[in-house]
Amino acid sequence: MTRKILLLTIIATVVALAAGARRATPKTSLGKPDLEAIARESVDENSRYFYPKLLKEFNANDTTMTDEDFQYFYYGTLFQEDYDPYRDHMKPETLERLAPLFNKKSWTRAERKQILDFANECLADNPINLRQLTNRIFVYEQNGKYDLAKIWQYKLNHLLLVIASSGTGVDADNAWTIVYPHDEYDFLNLSGITAREQKFEPPYYDYILVNPKTESSPKGYYFNIAEMLKQYYRKHPSELTE
């Protein structure tokens, strides 16, 4: 599978979901996340959805996780003690140094190693980093490790499906629910939609202006960041009074 075909596979799946093709695809039966249940189950050591258990399963090189596992895993991130949606990017100097490589159509073996090493470091810090999961997949594919590429494509697709299943994004009532601010841009870009600008819409929505594909396409999409803000201010209460 080439890099282009891999990306188009992801795009086609997510765009179909975002357009409302839910009944045609069983994977879309998840719907909006029950964040109260996820908050409870993700910290319960006896739960099937205990976050450390799901993290171990996610990091395994297999495809045994269910749709519900992925939903509890993605949104369970919100309720972990080390969660901070606005924390600084790890190793910004390395990211700046590698930035020119991400615009290339192919990489040398040495470049692939640099990108994979960086992706793995980022994923150790944030395992649901959509951008770095994509980079990991592309490196595996270019290295000829097609089985690993398929496994991690499966996992990336399911994270995207979890987000897509949380709404349609076309209005505030049906906003997509995300865990990190950069998930908004990564989700849209991986869906083949070019994000242009972000606006905050009170009380807890981000509205992302995009380049519409057609005249009838939405001019932008809504993301629900209520729980993300709630968890952030719970850990940074002083900022509420500033």
Please state the three-class secondary structure of the chain as a single string.
CCHHHHHHHHHHHHHHHHCCCCCCCHHHHHCCCCHHHHHHHHCCCCCCCCHHHHHHHHHCCCCCCCHHHHHHHHHHHHHCCCCCCCCCCCCHHHHHHHHHHHHCCCCCHHHHHHHHHHHHHHHHHCCCCHHHHHHHHHHHHHCCCHHHHHHHHHHHHHHHHHHHHCCCCCCHHHCEECCCHHHHHHHHHHCCCCEEEEEEECCCEEEEEECCCCCCCCCEEEEECHHHHHHHHHHCHHHHCC
Distance CA 7, CA 99 (A): 20
Amino acid at 173: D
Q: What is the pLDDT of residue 14?
A: 53
Q: Peptide bond preceding 203: is omega within 30 degrees of 0, i.e. cis?
A: yes
Cβ-count burial of 49 within 10 angstroms (0-12 exposed, 13-18 middle, 19+ buried)? buried
pTM listed for this prediction: 0.89
Task: Identify the pLDDT of residue 238.
Answer: 86
Q: Give the number of domains in the chain.
A: 1
- pLDDT means over runs of 10, the chain (242 residues): 45 49 48 97 98 98 95 98 87 87 88 95 95 95 95 95 95 97 95 93 97 91 97 90 62
Rounded Cα–Cα distance for residues 190 and 10 (Å)? 7
Residue 105: its pLDDT value, please?
79
pLDDT at 241: 65
Q: Which domain holds residue 189?
A: 3-240
Task: Tell me what pLDDT residue 191 has.
Answer: 86
Q: Are 229 and 204 in contact (CB under 8 A)?
A: yes
CA distance linking residue 183 with residue 162, whole number of Å: 12
